């Protein structure tokens, strides 16, 4: 199943490649991040002798939700180093503005086995926290193989996502086995992730992190 998934991912990438090339040549997008997306994050992302907690937030909304969690981990877990990855350019810019020198910010790797292995080898995380149910099969599979704790935080499953996951029920059930803990936004989200195959003891409900941001003065 993983082979078929990787093949489908590669075909989708090839179909979208002309768009990426156009955006790179015309607007300067993607070219500067390609190395990191292929599994070669900057040296600053590597461990500084402390174990690493890797937080992944796709874009702006996910990063804003993750920011209170990142700040709390940085203050309450000084023995760990927190690094952050994003997928979009806008998310990357915001993360660099808000994180600054407090941690390293880089792009999440493409979900090819070699890209994932390269990123994991360089960052060597003890734990990966993924915001809002981003399920990357090869990434999660490699994390489990390396003994990395993986947490889905602020998890949610929309009607559309749920319907899509159910169409690949057996495969998504296998993918969920690689996740250590699901921290979902609501009981409805928890019920859905359980229905897709997550074990009861690995699912908790903790509300929406977006409400944990400090109020403006």
Any idea which residues carry the catalytic annotation? 62
Which structure tokens are listed for 81?
A: 């180093």
Q: How far apart are CA 81 and CA 95, in angstroms?
A: 16
Q: How far apart are CA 148 and CA 198, in angstroms?
A: 18
Sheet strands side by side (includes 181-184): 105-107, 81-86, 52-56, 125-131, 149-155, 181-184, 203-205
Distances (CA, A) of 152 to 4, 42, 121, 131, 139: 24, 24, 21, 6, 13
Whether 92 and 86 have beta carbons less than 8 Å apart is answered as yes
């Amino acid at each position: 199943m993983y082979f078929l998934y990787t093949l489908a991912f590669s075909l989708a990438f090839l179909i979208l490649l002309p768009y990426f090339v156009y955006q790179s040549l015309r607007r300067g997008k993607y070219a500067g991040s390609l190395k990191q997306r292929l599994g070669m994050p900057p040296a600053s992302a590597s461990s500084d002798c402390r174990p690493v907690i890797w937080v992944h937030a796709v874009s702006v909304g996910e990063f804003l939700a993750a920011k209170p969690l990142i700040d709390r981990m940085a203050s309450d877990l000084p023995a760990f180093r927190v690094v952050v990855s994003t997928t979009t350019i806008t998310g990357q810019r915001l993360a660099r503005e808000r994180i600054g020198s407090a941690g390293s910010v880089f792009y999440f790797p493409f979900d090819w086995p070699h890209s994932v292995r390269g990123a994991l080898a360089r960052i060597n995380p003890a734990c990966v926290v993924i915001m809002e149910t981003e399920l990357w099969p090869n990434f999660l599979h490699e994390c489990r193989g390396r003994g990395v704790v993986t947490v889905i935080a602020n998890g949610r499953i929309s009607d559309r996502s749920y319907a899509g996951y159910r169409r690949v029920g057996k495969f998504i059930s296998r993918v969920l086995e690689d996740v250590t803990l699901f921290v979902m936004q609501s009981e409805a989200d928890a019920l859905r992730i359980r229905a897709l195959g997550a074990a009861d003891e690995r699912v908790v409900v903790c509300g929406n992190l977006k409400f944990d941001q400090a109020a403006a003065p």
